[in-house]
């Protein structure tokens, strides 16, 4: 009988999160224009992610963009049937400060209704497009609490895209109606500031050994490591938006290695869904 590969026992649950959007939703401040069905890539790339997750026996959390779920009503049922958590990424992928409180609530409700109709239950969590909650959206947490969110994962402790001095472990944000658990993605502290090792270009560019050590250090300290991925990162030569050189590097960089890196980490560490992580952190 073959012995299974030894797994590193994590001190805290980790989570793999997928921002379920298409290739044309990257680096934009407003809603993306409609793209013909034959140019969409999200279904095939999601199937690749689901196959990887099944191989590694990991349950992940998908932050679903409502407009994408609406365009392809087979996506959410396919993901939910595989046992993964369906959470919300808003509807149009417009940055939260541009939406304002009324539209923000409207998008939350619309996406929650689509997810509930397609998966059988409303989302328990939320992630804003491009980590766009912060000092410019003081109204957001109260709205999320009122709309029934158990947790949020929109605050990234990074310079430029988030709050560089923000907490790196889950923390509660109080509102008048109660608190919401904020679950930030993994970063790696360094002398020049926090490095984005939990996803995006940092996940694809930094040495895998650094990402492994960062996860282990968090787990050893009793904290979870939260990784994030976009379906477009599963194909090295997929379509690209016409972006500035810097934006292009941040969005595409060395994209081909994301799946191989994930497979290694999914096999080595323990993972649960974000909802399970939120319940663990709140216990
Ligand atoms: Zn997004």
Domain residue extents for the chain: 15-26+39-282
Q: What is the DSSP string of 132-176?
A: --STT-TTHHHHHHHTT-SEE-----STTTS-TTS-SS-EEEEET
- The Cα 181–Cα 125 span in angstroms is 9
- Distance in angstroms (rounded) separating the CA atoms of residues 109 and 115: 10
The rounded Å distance from CA 218 to ligand 1 centre is 25
**C-alpha count within 13 angstroms, C-beta hemisphere, residue 34:** 5
Ligand 1: centre distance to CA 229 (Å): 10
Query: 171: which strand partners?
Result: 182
CB contact burial 27-44 (16+ within 10 A = b; e otherwise) = ebeebbeeeeeeebbbbe
Start-to-end CA distance of the chain, whole Å, equals: 39
Strands 178-182 and 151-152: parallel
Q: Kindly state the DSSP code that residue 234 receives in the 8-state scheme.
A: G
The encoded tokens of residue 94 equal: 């417009």
In which order are the strands placed within the sheet that holds 85-88? 171-175, 178-182, 151-152, 125-126, 85-88, 61-64, 15-20, 226-229
Cα of 1 vs centre of ligand 1, distance in Å, is 44
Ligand 1 centroid vs 93 CA: distance in angstroms? Answer: 6
Nearest to 109 by CA among 66, 49, 79, 73: 66
- Note the pLDDT of residue 236: 74
31 Cα to the center of ligand 1, angstroms:
11
Distance 42 CA to ligand 1 centre (A): 13
Tens place of pLDDT per residue across the chain (283 aa): 444 444 444 458 899 999 999 888 876 556 667 778 888 889 999 999 999 999 999 999 999 999 999 999 999 999 999 999 999 999 999 999 999 999 999 999 999 999 999 999 999 999 999 999 999 999 999 999 999 999 999 999 987 777 778 888 999 999 999 999 999 999 999 998 999 999 988 888 899 999 999 999 999 999 999 999 999 888 877 777 777 777 777 777 766 668 889 999 999 999 999 999 999 988 8
CA of 193 to the centre of ligand 1 (A): 24
- CATH class for the region spanning 15-26+39-282: alpha beta
Using alpha carbons, select from 17, 281, 61, 10 the residue that is nearest to residue 170.
281
Taking the centre of ligand 1 as the mean of its atom positions, its distance from the CA of residue 255, in whole angstroms, is: 17
Q: How far is the CA of 145 from the centre of ligand 1 (A)?
A: 21
Q: What is the pTM of this model?
A: 0.91
Which tokens hold the place of 124? Answer: 């328990």
Residues 122 and 216: their CA atoms lie apart, in Å, by 33
Q: What is the distance in A from the centroid of ligand 1 to the CA of 272?
A: 21
Ligand 1 centroid distance, CA of 281 (Å)? 25
Neighbours of ion ligand 1 (CB under 5 A): 19, 21, 129
pLDDT for 255 equals 65
């Amino acid at each position: 009988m073959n012995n299974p590969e030894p797994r590193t026992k994590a001190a805290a649950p980790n989570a793999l999160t997928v921002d379920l959007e298409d290739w044309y939703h990257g680096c934009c401040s407003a809603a993306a224009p409609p793209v013909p069905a034959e140019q969409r890539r999200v279904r095939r790339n999601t199937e690749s992610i689901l196959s990887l997750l099944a191989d590694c026996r990991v349950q992940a959390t998908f932050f679903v963009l409502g407009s994408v779920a609406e365009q392809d009503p087979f996506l959410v049922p396919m993901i939910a049937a595989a046992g993964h958590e369906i959470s919300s990424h808003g509807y149009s992928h417009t940055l939260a400060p541009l939406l304002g409180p009324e539209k923000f609530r409207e998008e939350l409700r619309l996406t929650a209704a689509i997810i509930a109709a397609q998966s059988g239950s409303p989302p328990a969590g939320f992630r804003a497009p491009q980590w766009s909650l912060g000092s410019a959206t003081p109204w957001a947490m109260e709205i999320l609490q009122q709309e029934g969110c158990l947790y949020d994962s929109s605050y990234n402790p990074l310079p430029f895209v988030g709050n560089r001095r923000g907490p790196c472990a889950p923390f509660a944000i109080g509102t008048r109606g109660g608190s919401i658990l904020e679950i930030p993605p993994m970063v790696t502290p360094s002398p020049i500031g926090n490095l984005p090792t939990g996803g995006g270009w940092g996940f694809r560019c930094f040495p895998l050994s650094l990402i492994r050590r960062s996860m282990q250090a968090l787990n050893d300290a009793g904290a979870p490591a939260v990784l994030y991925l976009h379906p477009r990162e599963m194909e090295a030569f997929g379509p690209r938006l016409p972006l500035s050189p810097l934006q292009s590097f941040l969005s595409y960089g060395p994209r081909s290695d994301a799946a191989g890196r994930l497979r290694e980490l999914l096999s080595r560490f323990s993972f649960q869904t974000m909802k399970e992580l939120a319940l663990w952190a709140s216990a």
